[in-house]
Every structure is written in structure tokens, then in C-alpha cells.
Amino acid sequence: MAATLTESRIHDLQALALRVREHIVRMSTDGGCFTGASLSCADLLVYLYSDVLNISPDNLRSPDRDYCFLSKGHDVPALYATLAERGFFAKERLKNHLKTNDFIYWHPNVNMPGVEFHSGSLGHLLSVAMGVALDCKLRGQTNRIVVILGDGELNEGTIWEGTLVAKALKLGNLTVIVDRNEFQANIRTEDLVPLEPIENKFRAFGWETARVNGHDFTALNAAWNALPATTGDTPTVIIADTVRGKGIPSIERRADRWFCNFSHDEVKMLVQELHGEAIGELTSEALHVR
């Protein structure tokens, strides 16, 4: 169970999330990255790694640690930035994004401290997380295993096969968090393959279900504290409603700002916007297809 969040603690988390978002923006140049989706899940990762999960630079090989799997691997700038801010590796390494002398690339790389598993091809890490959850359960351990899914990722059949099996295996130590930013690549999910009502779908598969504002640390904390004990039999899902491009109004909820490769001048402008300053027009091409 996570501790009750005080106003001071919420302020600290918001400040950390702002720093994470600034790192994401700075990685959105010289080749670019999946900026919009990374910004949407930044608060989720900040909350998990700061206040919830028993994962730290000191226990990366401990069998008693919790596990976090980023299945929507294209959001890795948010994960790398969070890990760097939490001391898993030096923040200076983030400047090596897409450089051949480091492992900071477009998708999670297990050579980076804190990354549990490679991901990128969507739909696979729920099954990986289930395997870890089952192993921990059979050993009588109380680890919490978390997997972060994209909402568009729910169109993968392996997700629903895994959801059925997780309930059958009584994986009460497994929690899924869905980053519900309402976009799949460069199209709205409801215009492609409608997902709603997501809660009813997971409930029909026997999962405990909650839905919260994914940018509200108090709401996230309440949902987490309501999770059943890991020794129970029912897997849980938190559907986190988020905003693609959160924190930067000029790119929020824009389908064409899926993958971004900004100029250095635009990055400076976006950092200013992130801190609440008005900016001029962005001129870099918005990539519709990748």
C-alpha cells in the first residue's frame, strides 16, 4: 500500500514529472522519438517509481523486488527519464539518445539499469509479466508485478488471451495500467477499432477494475491503495485516462504529433511552453506515418 499523499509530496511528484517531461522534449530532436505518448504516461511512471514499487538502484537483482514492464515500449523516453531522475543511471546519459555509443534507443533496452525486458512489438509484455507473476506466486512471494499497456495495444489478441489466462491462474499479484490517451499511432482509437467500454470488458474477464485521471496523483494513489493484496486471486487493472502530449498545449491531443523530430530551436521553445511560457509556431514537419 502506498502512503497517503500530502500536499508537499504531491508538489514533489509534480516537480519530478515536469523534469521528466523536459527530458522527453530534449530527446525529441536529432532523430526524434514518440513524444506525444511519452508525455501521456510520464505521471504514471513517476508515481510508480517514486511512491509505489519496491524497485531501486540498490535492489535490481533482488528476488524480492517489484517488477514494472513497459509494454508500450515506444514510450521509453518517459521510462528512461524517470529512471535517470530516480538515480538508476546518470542523467547526463540521456544526451546519448540515439547515439551509437550507448543503449538509449527508441525502445527499452535491458542494458539500461532498471529496464526489465525489451519491448517494442506490441502485445507481448503482458504475457512476460504473467510468467513473472506466476513464478512469484508459486514461490510464495509477495512481489507486485505491473505492466503498462497502451490503449491501442488492446487491439492485440494476445492481450485478451493473457487476460483470460491471468484470471484462470489467479494472479492477484498482477496489475495492468492502461495508458488511455485515446490515440493509436496517428488516429483516434474510437475511429479505428472502438475500445469502450473498457472497464466492462476487463470485468467480464474477471478482473478488478478501476478508472482514474492518470495525471492526478491523488486519484492514482487512491486507486493503488484500493488494490487487493498480492496474495489474492484476482488480477487488477487501472485504466488511466491521459492526454497525449500532456503538458505542452501546442501538441496536446494532436494525431500528427505522434512521432516528433523537432529542431533545436523548437526544443527550446517547447521547454519554455512546458514551463508555462507562450511560444511561436512550430515549423518542423508533423509526421503522419512512420
Average pLDDT (107-118) is 91
Say which CATH class 7-274 falls into: alpha beta
Average pLDDT (116-124) is 86
Whether 288 has a pLDDT exceeding 50, the answer reads no
Residues 187, 181: Cα–Cα separation, whole Å: 11
Whether 282 has a pLDDT exceeding 90, the answer reads no
Whether 275 has a pLDDT exceeding 50, the answer reads yes
Weakest mean pLDDT among 16-25, 96-105, 126-135:
96-105
pTM of the model: 0.93
Residues 100, 30: Cα–Cα separation, whole Å: 13
Terminal alpha carbon distance of the chain: 40
Give the mean pLDDT of the chain: 92
For residue 167, give the nearest of 228, 120, 255 by alpha carbon. Answer: 228
What pLDDT does 142 receive? Answer: 93
What pLDDT does 289 receive? Answer: 39
The residue to which cell 532523430 is assigned: 31
What pLDDT does 176 receive? Answer: 98
Average pLDDT (41-68) is 95
In sequence order, what DSSP letters do the residues of 128-149 get, joined into one string? HHHHHHHHHHHTT----EEEEE
Model confidence band, residue 95 (pLDDT cutoffs 50, 70, 90) = very high
Tens-digit pLDDT profile for residues 149-176: 999 999 999 999 999 999 999 999 999 9
Average pLDDT (95-105) is 90
Whether 224 has a pLDDT exceeding 90, the answer reads yes
Whether 240 has a pLDDT exceeding 60, the answer reads yes
C-alpha cell of 274? 512546458
